[in-house]
Amino acid sequence: MCETNDEEGGGPEGDEGPVDEQAQFSALLEDSAEDLYEHAPCGYLSTQLDGRIAKINTTLLDWLGYQREDLVGRKHFSDLLTVGGRLYHETHFAPLLRMQGEINGIALELKAADGARLPVLVTSTVKTGSDGQPLLIRTTVFDARDRRAYETELLRARREADQERDRLQVLATTLQQTLLPPALVDVPGLDVAAHYHIASVDQVGGDFYDLFPLAAGTWGLFLGDVCGKGAAAAAITSLARYTLRAAAVYDPDPVAVLGNLNTVLNHEYNGDDPRFCTVVFGLLTPDPDRGGFHITLASGGHPPALLMRADGTADFLPTPGGQLIGVLRDAHIATTTVHLVPGDTLLLHTDGLTEAHTGPTAGGDDRYGDDALLDFGRALAPTTASSTISAVRDLLDTFGSGVEDDTALLAIHAPQPPSEEQQ
Amino acid sequence: MLAHGFGCDQSMWRLVVPALERDFTVVLFDHVGAGNSDLSAWSRERYSTLNGYVDDLLALCRELALGPVTFVGHSVSAMMGVVAAAREPEAFAGLVLLAPSPCFIDDPETGYRGGFSAEDIEELLESLEANYLGWSGAMAPVIMGNPERPELGEELTNSFCRTDPDIARVFARVTFLSDNRADLAEVGVPTLVAQCSTDAIAPREVGAFVHARIPGSRLVTLNATGHCPQLSAPEETAAAIAAFAGGTR
């Protein structure tokens, strides 16, 4: 239309355009509304409010293989649907259309006259009269064969991904369990409890602990944290755990044990992908004279153990200067000794606990921290191994998703001898 | 007390509530898993049979302590009302079963015709699955957009976007695979069976079956067509409910 007007005005383009091209363009514009309706590249359908077909275009009739008189006034829109589609129509499509006045892009299947199924996308609007009363329903139908194939593929991929994720979780959980002792050994005169908090079911964490017998009358224990997560970290965790146990048999001196672990990790991973861990190793010896246990702890860069005493006090057992295991050829390993008298409890933990976010939203800057843990221990003392683990588990629960890293906990407690309690 | 059926939420009743509220106290609720209900309260174990819903219904009656109520159940909720009234008749002044079906699947052994086969129900589940993509969070505002009546759009956006596909699948199975034909004879409270003149989901034959099996029940056939008379013919539906509920007081 604009072009024609321009031509009247003698515009430069109008002058240059060949006359027959103009005529062709005009002919295109004269495409009648009626012809567009009948042969549009989509199906058109008008129905009464109860779904009875009042008008349908040639495109849709051709797709379905029906004659106009087969459908108009005889069939309802839902008669064209598969039975499942009809149920969906009655329970979702029709109520929504009635409540909203329109419904958009619903995937349905139409049944052709020969029984073939045609996947379509259906959009309907309700035409209302000037008084707002609904008069009829107008529906457009788009051929969705390609799109449906694509969506089916998407759904299949999603189901596959769901299954893979389930399998991964089972695998990760199983692997995690193999990195931890199935049960802690029974040490005469010692109350022991442990807990492993898994932060993510998708990934194997790198925390580990163990308690095991050494030469007659002594026991070794360790708890550590490998840098990183996933399969690579799990491999180091496994290596660290078996190296520690073997090294302790060879020479139970805690400094020697961690020195050996340092050498192994350093040799193994001094390339582009250095792997290291923090770990605390302890040698337990019962003290027959004073009761309780004598403990030598060696630490390589690990958070200090928390001692909760029988008298209700609590303190960290610092091991200053201990270096990460596996980074340097000769890591410095710090030691401390403590006498666990009857009634004392010692808690070893990984930093998943103290690094947990405590703010209202996970990911905030408020971390639990060492000071809070010390206060927690002071409030708890005197306690027992199982009470300690149970209290820390409750604490972790309050953090919820704020615990971003796995957390290993190992508590040992020297109970009061029964005879002493009676005195 | 009005209970919605499968596929929608309490907004299904919005056109009949104004008429009913003139004479009655109206209680609306969403079944657990639908609409604005607390989805964390849903569990596959509890809601894999009608019993979980029936327990909820009776708990609701006890909690509200309104005395015996007239319970109006649409579609699958009609059968929840039947089971609940059989179990605790004292909680109900009467039942209105709107477009009820005690069993959707045909039973050739007894000659019962529910109208569907088990394969048909599988096909419905496919339809649900196919439209899950369409109901995704990103599309919802477009689908639900209703500029003239924003409050309606808001309501529907909330209810339909939250139709978790897993929950919809389980509810579809409960709805279409339950068989409550044997429970009908246990109903001892006044009952109105209200069916539509044409209903692809609950045909008139099924409505007549329900009427025949519930002792002393009354049957009305509404002029309304489709499975949702409360939407397609709200005045007629509200009038039928009000006339029955008024008579039970």
Q: Which residues pair with A45 in a beta bridge?
A: A56, A139
SS3 A248: helix
Q: Tell me: pLDDT of A149 over 80.
A: yes
Q: What structural domains and CATH numbers belong to chain A?
A: 32-148 (3.30.450.20), 185-422 (3.60.40.10)
pLDDT-based confidence at A84, cuts 50/70/90?
confident
CB atoms within 10 A of CB A149: 11
Q: Judge whether B140 lies within some domain.
A: no
Q: pLDDT class for A419, splitting at 50, 70, 90?
A: low
**Residue B142 near chain A (CB below 8 Å):** yes
Q: How far apart are CA A63 and CA A112, in angstroms?
A: 7
| pLDDT at site B153 | 42
User: Taking 60 as the threshold, does the pLDDT of residue B133 lie above it?
Assistant: no
* Least confident piece of the model among A291-305, A351-365, A379-393: A351-365
Task: Quote the pLDDT of residue A361.
Answer: 53
> Is the confidence at residue B107, as pLDDT, over 50?
yes
The single-letter code of the amino acid at B80 is M
| Each residue's pLDDT tens digit, A189-205 | 899 999 998 887 777 77
B172 belongs to a structural domain: no
Secondary structure of chain B in HEC code, one letter for each residue: CEECCCCCCHHHHCCCHHHHHCCCCCCEECCCCCCCCCHHHCCCCHHHCHHHHHHHHHHHHHHHCCCCEEEEEECHHHHHHHHHHHHCHHHEEEEEEECCCCECECECCCCECCCECHHHHHHHHHHHHHCCCCCCCCCHHHHHCCCCCHHHHHHHHHHHHCCCHHHHHHHHHHHHHCECHHHHHHCCCCEEEEEEEECCCCCHHHHHHHHHHCCCCEEEEEEEECCCHHHHCHHHHHHHHHHHHHHHC
| For residues B8-37, average pLDDT | 90
Cβ B152–A100 below 8 Å, yes or no? yes
Q: Is B152 part of any domain?
A: no
Q: Is B201 in contact with A106 (Cβ distance < 8 A)?
A: no
Average pLDDT score over chain B: 85
Rounded Cα–Cα distance for residues A392 and A389 (Å): 5
Query: Taking CB atoms and an 8 Å limit, are A50 and B198 in contact across chains?
Result: yes
Structure tokens at B208: 């007549």
- The minimal CB distance from B116 to the residues A83, A100, A106 is found for A83
Contact residues, chain A, for B122 at CB < 8 Å: 84
Place of tokens 């992908």: A273
Q: Is A120 helix (H, G, I), strand (E, B) or coil?
A: strand
Average pLDDT value for residue range B122-149: 52
pLDDT above 90 (res A410):
yes
The distance of B249 to chain A (nearest Cα, Å) reads 31
Q: Percent of chain A, pLDDT > 90?
A: 51
pLDDT score, position B95: 96
Cα B179 to Cα B9, B76, B102, B218: the distances in Å are: 23, 11, 6, 22
Contacts of B184 (CB under 8 A, 6+ apart): B82, B102, B210, B213, B214
Which residues are A194's β-sheet partners? Answer: A410
CB proximity list for B246: less than 8 A, separation 6 or greater: B23
Backbone angles phi, psi at A218, to 5 degrees: -125, 155
Out of B127, B198, B232, name the one closest to residue A84 (CB). Answer: B127
Q: Distance between CA atoms of B125 and B142, rounded to whole angstroms? A: 24
Question: Which residues on chain B are in Cβ contact (under 8 Å) with A83?
Answer: 116-117, 120, 123-124
Domain assignment present for residue B137? The answer is no
Share of chain A above pLDDT 70, in %: 90
CA A93 to chain B, closest CA, distance in angstroms equals: 9
pLDDT computed for residue A422 by the predictor: 43
Pairing, β A293-300 against β A277-286: antiparallel
A131: DSSP letter: T
Confidence bin at B154 (pLDDT 50/70/90): very low
Please write the tens of the pLDDT for every residue from A231-287. 778 888 889 999 999 999 999 999 999 999 999 988 876 666 667 899 999 999 999
CATH number at residue B190: 3.40.50.1820
Domain, as residue range, for B29: 2-104+179-248
| Residue B122 domain-assigned (yes or no) | no
Rounded-to-integer distance, Cα A216 and Cα B215, Å: 83
- Is B199 in the active site? yes
Which residue among the candidates B75, B77, B159, B178 is catalytic per the annotation?
B75
Confidence of residue A421 (pLDDT cuts 50, 70, 90): very low
Task: Determine the distance from the C-alpha atom of residue B21 to the mean position of all C-alpha atoms in its chain, rounded to a whole number.
Answer: 20
Q: At B40, is the pLDDT very low, low, confident or very high (cuts 50, 70, 90)?
A: confident
pLDDT-derived band at B32, boundaries 50, 70, 90: very high
Higher pLDDT, B143 or A50: A50
pLDDT of residue B147: 40
Domain total for chain B? 1
Residue B244 to chain A, least CA–CA distance (Å): 25
Closest approach of chain A CAs to the CA of B144, in angstroms? 7
Is B197 one of the annotated active-site residues of the chain? no
Distances (CA, A) of A226 to A93, A194, A274, A299, A304: 55, 18, 11, 14, 16
* pLDDT at residue B241 in the model: 96
Residue B190, in any domain of the structure: yes
Per-residue model confidence (pLDDT) at position A168: 84
Angle (nearest 5°) at CA A419 between A317 and A313:
25
Q: Please, are residues B52 and B78 in contact by the beta-carbon 8 Å criterion?
A: no
* Option in A87, A106, A155 nearest B124 (CB): A87
Residue B149 has pLDDT above 60, yes or no: no
Kindly report which listed range (A174-183, A320-329, A378-387) carries the lowest average pLDDT score. A174-183
pLDDT for residue A126 is more than 50 = yes
Q: How confident is the model at residue B136 (pLDDT cuts 50, 70, 90)?
A: very low
Hey, which residues does A316 pair with through a beta bridge? A306
The answer to whether residue B48 is catalytic is no
So what's the pLDDT on residue A2? 41
User: Would the pLDDT of A53 be above 70?
Assistant: yes
Q: What is the model's pLDDT at position A176? A: 76
In a domain, B203, yes or no: yes
Residue B114 counted as domain residue: no
- Interchain proximity A85–B127, CB inside 8 Å: yes
- Tokens encoding A119: 């996947």
pLDDT tens-digit profile of B181-207?
A: 999 999 999 999 999 998 888 999 999
- pLDDT tens profile B41-97: 899 999 999 999 999 999 999 999 989 999 999 999 999 999 999 999 999 999 999
What pLDDT band is residue A174 in, cutting at 50, 70 and 90? confident
pLDDT for B134: 39
Q: What's the pLDDT tens digit per position in A215-231?
A: 878 999 999 999 887 77
Tell me the pLDDT tens digit for each residue of B218-248: 999 999 888 989 988 999 999 999 999 998 7
Q: What is the residue-averaged pLDDT of chain A?
A: 86
More confident residue, B240 or A24: B240
What residues in chain A have their Cβ under 8 A from chain B's Cβ atoms?
A: 49-51, 78, 82-92, 94-96, 98-109, 148, 151, 154-155
CA distance B66 to chain A (A): 30
Interface touch B7/A91, C-beta < 8 Å: yes
pLDDT at site A364: 56
Residue A396 has pLDDT above 60, yes or no: yes
Length of chain A as a residue count? 423
